[in-house]
Chains A and B, each alone.
Chain A
Amino acid sequence: MADNPDIVVIGGGNASLCAAITAAEQGARVLILEAAPKAYRGGNSRHTRNFRCMHAGPLGPLVDSYSEEEYFDDLLKVTGGKTDEHLARLAIRTSEECLPWMEAHGVRFQPSLSGTLSLARTNAFFLGGGKGLVNAYYRTADSLGVVVEYEAEVTHLELEQDEIVWVDYLKNGVSYRISPKSVVVASGGFQADVDWLARAWGPAAENFLIRGTPYNRGVVLADLLDQDVEQVGDQTQCHAVAIDGRAPKFDGGIVTRLDCVPFSIVLNKNGERFYDEGEDVWPKRYAIWGRLVADQPDQVAYAIIDAKSLNLFMPSVFPPIKADTIEDLATEMDLPVSAVRATVDGFNAACGDTSGFQPTELDGVATGGIVPAKTNWARPITEPPFYGYSLRTGVTFTYLGLRVDENAQCAIGNRPIGNLWAAGETMAGSILGQGYLAGFGVTIGTVFGRIAGREAAKHAN
């Protein structure tokens, strides 16, 4: 069957698996081509932890309700209006039936979370995280007869008269060509191709870290865009956050997250502050710091806290650098000592009354007379030992993608491509022009993966 499937699904993450399972349940013979080896299967999906789900009343692990309007408003806030309302509402509305569908296909949710997150109403957390989810789907797909080829990188789709006529892929250095009836692209963004990032962003991008899989190199995306398949978004848009500078180049995932910024002062490599660290609660400011750090020299920054703040945020994977004096800390972090001293002194002098300090809400404990100001949680850095973390830009995914319609179908000009569908990150730009709402990536992948699988099967059967 590997050489003669009805449907080829490109990619091995959440969107791909949802498409493959749906198509196989309709009787189609499905082949998944996954570029990664088995140990790394599942793309960025293996790093996820939750999905955002609309619900009229309590649903599975979700409490209360989360209406379509509220969900859509939340989305508009983060995208600044750059949202395709029709597709966004389709994703939101369909998310409600996704949760039971996911459970029926093996996904399990965390009953309730003791951590610092207060998302029990809007987001359902996967037991075992995204890898647990992906494993469950692979088991289900296998039981439905879906065949998976690992280490199989798709290199080209041949487009002729608005149809994909063949698919080329490489496995163990050998090239294969197959001609399925339908093709679903679910191979993510291009963020792991650092050269491409550098073309889009300039050389600064060489210093970015990639939070997820090294296999999302945009090979299929580039191939299709070269053949004039309709594109959406532009290549400079990506979701990027500030993560621990010591994280691995790829696949560092969730544990490299740093939550210390609101309680710190953040300096660039010249020892200067450059932005209000206390602008808002961290979950709301998490995403802008990726770009802020990217704009600093060498795309690196340094967060400094003192002993009284150490236990106010979630522990991170790398222990902070620790020193008894600011001077020693600066030396250990390779920062100009006198500049750091001057910045810390200036900041400390600008701190006022800190008695209203409240770590979990905007407390208005602000600096006076310095630029940039710190508008919340501004307490002087005085209590040794002092701790430092380096920060770098961590790219989550890119937005450039394939434009799809409500059937997840791709197009060329304004004509649909008869047998090509797309799902997941690779078409997320069709819905979100910019910004990101936690848990919406998996929602898009699940909703459009299932639609793509349904349509691909309809075409093939």
Chain B
Amino acid sequence: MPTDLIMEARRQAEICNACRYCEGYCSVFPALHRERAFADGDITHLANLCHNCRGCYYACQYTAPHEFDLNLPKALAEVRQESWKTHAWPAGFGQLFERAGSVLALVLVVATACLFALAQNINPASGEGFYAYISHGLMIVIFAPAFLLPLAAIGVSIKSYWRNTGGGTVQLSDVLAAARSAGRMKNLEGGHGDGCNFEEEDRFSHARRYAHQATLYGFLLCFASTSSGTVLHYGFGLEAPYALFSLPKLLGIPGGILLCLGTGALAYLKTKANPILGAPKAWGGEMAFVLLLFAVSATGLLLYAATGTAAVSALLPLHLGTVLTFFLLAPFSKMAHGFYRMAALTKEAAHERENA
């Protein structure tokens, strides 16, 4: 991991440790104030606790032009980005983070084109709805490994991250506590409940928190929808297409709408936020990822709306192409942040339990 990024974050963390005015904004500061000296792993842990809400930047009396030149959101964002790169597995793939935007576009085009070609050329003899275009068997052949392999890669990365930041044995209660905190986006409340600074300098708002929540829950609903489809298919022999009042649809349609709105709002907010308070190199990749998630949900909803029309032949490969891209790049795109953030919150929960 490049030591200059760590050193810069450490320099700033030491200033914060002498100041402590931002205690209360988020989980970063209590974790920071526990230490007197910061090992590299400590800095990495702090970086993954930070969600770039910028509260501590706008409140800081030492930001440029002051010679102390504090910009903690940026310093931590850069370390965070580097830490994902360093822990990415297989090793060389970490480079993808740097070029996330273009890689994502490329994978998307290739994946969609392949699925399109498959749909055109290996037309199944029978099959209803979508399966009339791509057989169920073929979908499984493509998507099962495309889902499981990246998940395994993330597992390896998180394990290495956990070791590097000095995490101990994991307890279920800590993971649940972390999940509760993430589920409420507690840290995005800003400590006082007024929200964060993001899109309009020092104005506090919940916009980013709500947009992120819509994205998270929309995503989880979509995921649950797909899972319920799988269960219905294998467990009960009920095959797609499903009716409106079926579990996959009842989960999937609100999920798709939430995901669409959430990612649309996140992308908009990102265009409003000052880029120099984040990691400049990561901006493009993060934006591309948000737009990809938007495309996943938008094409999914369109596909549903187009059921029974000829448009399905084009929309289906497009939608599946976005989903495939999302899965394949999950370990090397912004998606990874969810796992690292959970790990960091779990570590904090463990600390709290041990010191309770």
Contacts and interface: CB of A to CB of B under 8 A. Distances in A.
Interface in A123-141: 126-132, 135, 139
B227 interface: no
Given A110-B24, A316-B18, A39 B203 contact: no
Interface string B47-69: 00000000110111111111110
A108 B22 contact: no
A248 interface: yes
Given A114-B30, A248-B67, A317-B14, A131 B19 contact: no
Interface stretch (A87-95, A252-260, A395-403): A252-260
B76 to A, nearest CB: 17
Contacts of A132: 21, 58-59
B181 interface: no
A387 to B, nearest CB: 13
Contacts of A108: 191-192, 194
Contacts of A139: 202-203
Q: Which of A110, A251, A257 has the most CB of B within 10 A?
A: A110
B33 interface: yes
B25 interface: yes
A255 B15 contact: yes
A127 B18 contact: no
Nearest to B33: A114
A115 B29 CA distance: 11
A131 B65 contact: no
Nearest to B70: A255
B202 A130 contact: no
Nearest to A130: B61
B205 to A, nearest CB: 12
B62 A129 contact: no
B23 A315 contact: no
Contacts of A40: 65
Contacts of B56: 128
A14 to B, nearest CB: 13
Contacts of B15: 255, 317
Interface residues of A, number: 33
B187 to A, nearest CB: 14
B21 A254 contact: yes
Categorize the interface residue count of chain B. Answer: 20 to 34
Interface string B194-207: 10000000110000
A314 B63 CA distance: 22
A314 B22 contact: no
Contact of A127 (B17, B19, B192): B192
Nearest to A314: B18
A248 B67 CA distance: 8
A44 B62 CA distance: 13
Contacts of A257: 18
B39 to A, nearest CB: 15
B59 A135 contact: yes
Contacts of A128: 21-22, 25, 55-56, 58-59
B159 interface: no
Given A108-B194, A114-B30, A131 B23 contact: no
A410 to B, nearest CB: 30
Nearest to B197: A135
A129 B18 contact: no
A39 B63 contact: yes
Contacts of A127: 22, 24-25, 59, 191-192
A105 to B, nearest CB: 13
B281 to A, nearest CB: 25
Contacts of A114: 23, 30, 33
Contacts of B19: 129, 253-255, 317
B354 to A, nearest CB: 16
B133 to A, nearest CB: 55
A80 interface: no
Given A128-B56, A317-B15, A317-B18, A251 B66 contact: yes
B36 interface: yes
A180 to B, nearest CB: 28
A211 to B, nearest CB: 11
A49 B66 contact: no
Given A39-B65, A128-B25, A135 B18 contact: no
A314 B35 CA distance: 11
Nearest to B19: A255
Nearest to A132: B59
Nearest to A311: B36
A111 interface: yes
Contact of B62 (A113, A253, A314): A253
Interface in A21-59: 39-40, 46-47, 49
Contacts of B64: 39
B184 interface: no
A46 B30 CA distance: 22
Given A253-B19, A317-B14, 7 more contacts: A127-B25, A129-B22, A130-B61, A135-B58, A248-B67, A255-B62, A315-B14
Interface of A: 39-40, 46-47, 49, 108-111, 113-115, 126-132, 135, 139, 248, 251, 253-255, 257, 311, 314-317, 319
Interface of B: 14-15, 17-25, 30, 33, 36, 55-56, 58-68, 191-192, 194, 202-203
- Ranked nearest first, the 3 interchain pairs of A and B with the lowest CB-CB distance are A129-B21, A128-B59, A108-B192
16 contacts: A39-B63, A115-B33, A127-B25, A127-B191, A127-B192, A128-B59, A129-B59, A131-B58, A135-B59, A139-B203, A248-B67, A255-B15, A257-B18, A315-B18, A315-B36, A317-B15
